[in-house]
Amino acid sequence: MQIEVKKNFEIKNLTTFKIGGAVENVYFPKSQEEFTYLLKELPDYLVLGNCSNLIISSSGYNGNIIVTTNMKNYNINGNIVTAECGVKGPLLAQKTAEAGLSGFEFMIGFPGTIGGEIFMNASAHGQAVSDKLIRCCLFNRKQKEIIFKEKSEMNFGYRCSCLNQRNELLLSAEFVLNKGNRNNIQEMIDRNLKSRKEIQPNLANPNAGSVFKNPPNDSAGRLLEKAGCKNLFGNNVKVWNNHANFIVNLGNATSEDVLELMLKMYTAVKEMFTIELVPEIIFIGNKTEREEEICNIIYKKNRE
């Protein structure tokens, strides 16, 4: 089976943060058949989608990474939508809107794939990816076989699902959307895009989305702003002017630069509110000694 693979691949150009070093092997499957073949044959691997919610170490990663963005197949049949894990959320939001289907309007501003959105139960504007889900087609890593799970078995919560346990990987998902008026659906999409542009950086300012998760009954952005984090900056990185829960890469930032700024933000909120924010951005790859120190502070396993 001829599957595209790139060796010692500089992955930063695939990430929305434009940060990341050389990865030993990066695979680009184009079908579920190729994807499952890799999952069965490779001894170890990480699976990534649009690389939009993570920091990949500037020191690289000594292992195999599978990138699913070439798995782009989707189908709209009446109000039933099926999509492979690599389909990008904004594309599906627009295509379902054109079909007069409501439920994916919130995805229009997310750069991630369906796989990533189900992994973290992405949500915005009162909608979540789990709302319209029927079932998932998954790969069980231990049994090395394809299984199916209904929505009720996916253990969805705030920014989480059963996929966080890393025992299963999404291959595709099936949804049922609501039929609606195309103009009304498009208006909602336009409002969501306008709202996002007003407060969040676009990818012309490289970023990885929200840095920290919202604490229960509160907003990470509110806490960070009250703690003065909009004025924070570091080496080639700064907190976004219009929303304190975003970090932008000013051009040549490293993963360590980002972690240093994250630590400043985390510390400011902890000192003012005695609240320890939990990162939403995932860190992947080799760590410098300083990165290890910072990760031990802000990425606490007992809080994830």
Catalytic residue among 159, 161, 255, 256: 159
Catalytic residue among 210, 255, 256, 291: 210
Give residue 1's Cα distance to chain centre.
Answer: 29
Centre a 10 Å sphere on the Cβ of residue 107 and count the other Cβ atoms it contains. Answer: 27
Cα 271–Cα 245–Cα 156 angle in degrees, nearest 5: 100
Q: Enter the tokens of residue 41.
A: 């044959």
Q: Has 280 been annotated as catalytic?
A: yes
* Whether the Cβ atoms of residue 244 and residue 229 lie closer than 8 Å to each other: yes
Q: Measuring CA to CA, which residue among 58, 76, 77, 78 is closest to residue 12?
A: 58
Q: Has 210 been annotated as catalytic?
A: yes
Q: Measuring CA to CA, which residue among 262, 181, 193 is closest to residue 19?
A: 262
Catalytic residue among 117, 168, 256, 280: 280
Sign of the alpha-carbon dihedral angle for 160, 82, 167, 281: negative
Q: Has 196 been annotated as catalytic?
A: no
Instruction: Supply the residues annotated as catalytic.
Output: 159, 210, 280
